[in-house]
Structure 1
């Protein structure tokens, strides 16, 4: 029963809206409340330079390695330090591991990852390395899969992921997100642009109307699922109105869809900026528990 976590999923980012402690808090909640045993947690190794280079340009990786402020790193909206860059490289290794374990166990949840705003050649939106894209390219290069679907249910469009895989018929990108919000929208294979105020049932209806067709027509061999906590009605950065129960229904629907279609799923926990960090942690915890229950 694979969860991917490292105690190194922390870096000093100063006073920031991004709740960097959430990774540890979700891990502790799984250990203390759900009594998940140690054997179900896997610790990743950092992605290698060769793996990162499958997606990111040499110039950009050099900027990260040397912690340089350049036009390529400027829009990260994060500080830049070796500690922070190491966290992102480790998270990329975690999503690679999640993909490999999902192919073995039919599912895996990475307690970090989902940094979908990073482009091949630049940072954006709290994201330095696009771990989703790196994992896809590693799995493909190793011959483990050919066709990959990325189902992105974050509050924000996965703009970096969309651009990286544009015109690539081997990767299907789906993003359901708030329309009138960062980022400037790129073109995914299928985008659902939601107006402000969308609630549980309308959101779930969009999933029911659009996701089955991806499985039927594209026939992915693995799904990478970005299970963002930020569509939540108490999120600081958004104006969608999903409840915690509605987000559980979202996860349940997607996990069951993967299971019914016999498609492994690797989950990243993505964004979450609730006014009360405990709510973000609860949403992520629910995702983990639902995956374990549905696939067990």
Structure 2
């Protein structure tokens, strides 16, 4: 089976101020690296950007209108962390659509990967932490509309998925789990269905044990029909905005664990790359590649052997 990959050229097509903390070039760099490793261009599927009104499935119409038209006030934009531009809205509409497409492909093929996504700090009526709209919530609700009864959002970004937790607090059929560093953004945490708040000093083995136990319980107790996996790499020891100390090898072990566990339970997985903050794009791309290595190994693809840990 060919592993479906979702990507749109607009993901990195955003001009940001010099020295801005967000590594916007990582999406293009990741796609180019996968092509260089031998992944055929035909394996990438391009999402059709959302129409603005479609976002109302997850977000407040007034917030959508203000943000997309450039009328959101300066304080709200500073909370998001990006200067407003038409490029910003265009890439966001494409990226949110990409996570939905990834979920649809996962249901068809058992596994699909999105070279973007994981915007878990966006709330119903406000953005935060580089997140304008919450693609995980939007994709989950979209899949419910398509007949999926129960989903699990399994979020391993180093930061708590506060927007996701708040937006889905009253939805018993979309289970939210966040495994994150305790002393990190956001300062005020929300309540997920399952939160694991870990100390920065946790060992790699203890971290992996916590992830394995949480996922095992959630898969067995809730028996989701689809898992949305946020494979953020900002828990790496070299990340500029994270405080955990995972090695590259531990990231690969983590991603293998998640994908293999879901495969053993015959549960489809749609994975997004989530957060990762280094100015060295080559080093950051290497970390995000670990998810693709784990997925390609699961599909017995020789390209996986070319991706270094």
Shorter-chain TM-score bucket reads over 0.9
SS at 1:225's partner residue? strand
Cα distance in 1 for partners of 2:273, 2:219 equals: 22
Q: Which residue of 2 aligns with 1:46?
A: 49
- Give the Cα–Cα distance (whole angstroms) in 1 for the partners of residues 166 and 132 of structure 2: 15
Q: How does 1:1-296 map to 2 (within 5 A)?
A: 1-10=3-12, 11-15=14-18, 16-33=20-37, 35-70=38-73, 72-143=76-147, 145-183=148-186, 184-274=188-278, 276-296=280-300
Q: Deviations over 1:225-259 (max 9, x none)?
A: 00001000011112100000000000000000110
Aligned residues: 294
Separation in 1, partners of 2:288, 2:226: 21
- Per the TM alignment, residue 72 of structure 1 is displaced from its structure 2 partner at its CA by 4.5
- State the secondary structure of the residue aligned to 2:10: coil
Cα offset, 1:211, TM superposition? 1.1
CA distance in 2, matches of 1:281, 1:207: 23
Give structure 2 stretches of 5+ with no counterpart. Answer: 301-309
Contact 2:23–2:279 (8 Å) recurs in 1: no
Displacement of 1:74 in angstroms is: 4.0
Tell me by how many angstroms 1:47 deviates: 1.9
Q: Which moved more, 1:243-252 or 1:72-81?
A: 72-81
Describe the superposition over 1:8-57 as per-residue Cα deviations: whole angstroms up to 9, x where unpaired.
11211223111100001110110102x00122110111123343110000
Counterparts of 1:205 and 1:169 in 2: how far apart (Å)?
Answer: 26
**SS of the residue 2:9 aligns to:** coil
Alpha-carbon displacement from aligned partner over 1:53-81 (angstroms, at most 9, x marks no partner): 10000110011121123255441011111
SS of 2:178's partner is strand
C-alpha separation in 2, matches of 1:95 and 1:119: 17
| TM-score, scaled relative to structure 1 | 0.96
Between 1:123-132 and 1:64-73, the stretch displaced more is 64-73
Question: d(CA) in 2 for partners of 1:178 and 1:59?
Answer: 33
CA distance in 2, matches of 1:255, 1:277: 25
Aligned equivalents of 1:258 and 1:48: distance in 2? 32
Cα RMSD of the aligned pairs, angstroms, is: 1.2
The 8 Å contact of residues 51 and 138 in structure 1, kept in 2 or not, is answered as: no
* In 1: Cα distance, 2:202 partner to 2:281 partner: 22
8 Å contact 2:120–2:163 — kept in the other structure?
A: yes
Give the TM-score normalised by the residue count of structure 2: 0.92
